[in-house]
Amino acid sequence: MPSSQPIRVLIVDDSAMIRRVLAMGIDREPDLEVVGFASNGEQALDLMQRMRPDVITLDLEMPSMDGLTFMRSYMKSTPIPTIVISSATTGNRSVALQAVEAGAVDIISKPQGGTNIGLASMMVDVCQRIREAATAKTGLASNKSRVIAEALGAAPIQVPAGRAASWVHAIGASTGGIQALSTMLPLFPANSPGVVIVQHMPEGFTASFAARLNTICPMDVREAKDGDIVQPGRILLAPGGTRHMMLVRFSMGYRVSLIDGDPVCYSRPSVDVLFHSVAKECGRRCSASILTGMGRDGAEGMLSIRRAGGATFAQNEATCVVYGMPQAAHQMGAASKMLPLEDIPAAMTHAMGAPVRPSLKQP
């Protein structure tokens, strides 16, 4: 997108107050432009066809045509980067995740209480998310079922005997990661080593996401709690928004620790925090991957894993919604291989039976 042209934004929300607050915040930015407003999906479809926005901000609970129905109506034929701006209610979390699985590139929680004031204070972050969304590749979510079917139809992944209990898989992801994890995690067999994951998500959404993953994965998937044991057959997803997650060694193996701390790479939980702890505790006994996402979170932590002798992989540009985090890892020399998303689970598993890798020397 030429930098001289502002990013054109369509705001879809049934609340006039929310539309007004979003428009005021967006229009303050010289590189952003609000091109239309809609209070339901039917109005939005008409505006979308006439105004050709670059990014859509989308409420989900609206009269007439709701946000999820609206988004599904255009994502397959005319995919446009879409940011879900959702109320933080239990019911909406599930619907918001369905929207992301259908192709939305990001979720932002509406603040509880004093919505207009709270949302106004978040507009710097909202505007940055809009800029990031404008660079995203859309339409990749529609390939998920095909990718899973083809991968599961291939030779099953074989976990090296006797290695799972002493091995850890670590994964980091951000924008586009919900779709990516929903595609790749079902490919890990039930006897895989324990998996620890940081996926950038708002507070309150990770429990619903873990529950959804648990219905499609051979492994047991759960939102991590402080002290949870990392063990074969279990995937632990860091809770969104409040604390960092670290790997800690104890007498019987590994567990996770949820700790307070400032954001790292603008993120909490941070992939870097998790990966640095994995490098320290596991050394050569780990595989790590960085998936789609904006920014650099995870690159330095992955480099520490590679220097410790761990196996490191990053998602290739062709299969990423946003190539930022994998690209940063590649440019830093942190990722030993760039792979299509569907090839990463096998590569992480095969690394368990590979010859011992020498530690990468410090520069």
Residue 353's identity, in one-letter code, is G
Cα–Cα distance list, 205 to 42, 108, 109, 236 (Å): 28, 10, 9, 14
Where on the phi/psi map is residue 98: left (φ > 0), alpha (ψ -120 to 50), or beta?
Answer: alpha
Radius of gyration of the chain from Cα atoms?
A: 20
- Taking a C-beta distance cutoff of 8 angstroms, is the pair 293, 200 a contact? yes
pLDDT in tens, the chain (363 residues): 445 799 999 999 999 999 999 999 999 999 999 999 999 989 999 999 999 999 999 998 888 888 889 999 898 888 999 999 877 444 557 787 888 878 888 888 887 654 566 677 789 889 998 998 998 987 665 555 555 555 555 667 899 988 899 999 999 999 899 989 999 999 999 999 999 999 999 888 899 899 999 999 999 999 999 999 999 999 999 999 889 999 999 988 999 999 999 999 989 999 999 999 999 999 999 999 999 998 999 999 999 999 999 999 999 999 999 999 999 999 999 999 999 999 999 999 999 987 656 666 665
- CA triple 178-180-184, angle to 5 deg: 120
- Taking a C-beta distance cutoff of 8 angstroms, is the pair 60, 67 a contact? yes
Q: Known catalytic residues? A: 174, 200, 297
Long-range Cβ pairs for the range 62-68 (8 Å, 24+): 62/12, 62/13, 62/14, 63/14, 63/39, 64/40, 65/40, 65/41, 66/40, 66/41, 67/12, 67/41, 67/99, 68/95, 68/98, 68/99, 68/102
The one-character DSSP state at 193 is: P
- Taking a C-beta distance cutoff of 8 angstroms, is the pair 73, 58 a contact? no
Q: Residue 297 has which token pair?
A: 């979170």
Q: Which helix (H) or strand (E) holds 18?
A: helix 16-27
Indicate the SS3 state at residue 104: coil
Predicted local confidence at residue 122, as pLDDT: 84
Q: Residue 349 has which token pair?
A: 């598993």
Q: Residue 11 has which token pair?
A: 């705001």
Q: What does the buried/exposed string (b/e) look like for 114-147 if buried means 16 or more CB atoms within 10 Å of the residue's CB? A: eeeeebeebbeebbebbebbbbbbbebbeebeeb
Cα–Cα distance list, 284 to 228, 279, 351 (Å): 22, 8, 10
CA-to-CA distance for 39 and 29, rounded, in angstroms? 23
Other beta carbons within 10 Å of 278: 28
- DSSP letter string, 121-161: HTHHHHHHHHHHHHTPPPSGGGGHHHHHHHHHHSPPPPPPT
CA-to-CA distance for 322 and 138, rounded, in angstroms? 9
User: Dmax of the chain from CA atoms?
Assistant: 63
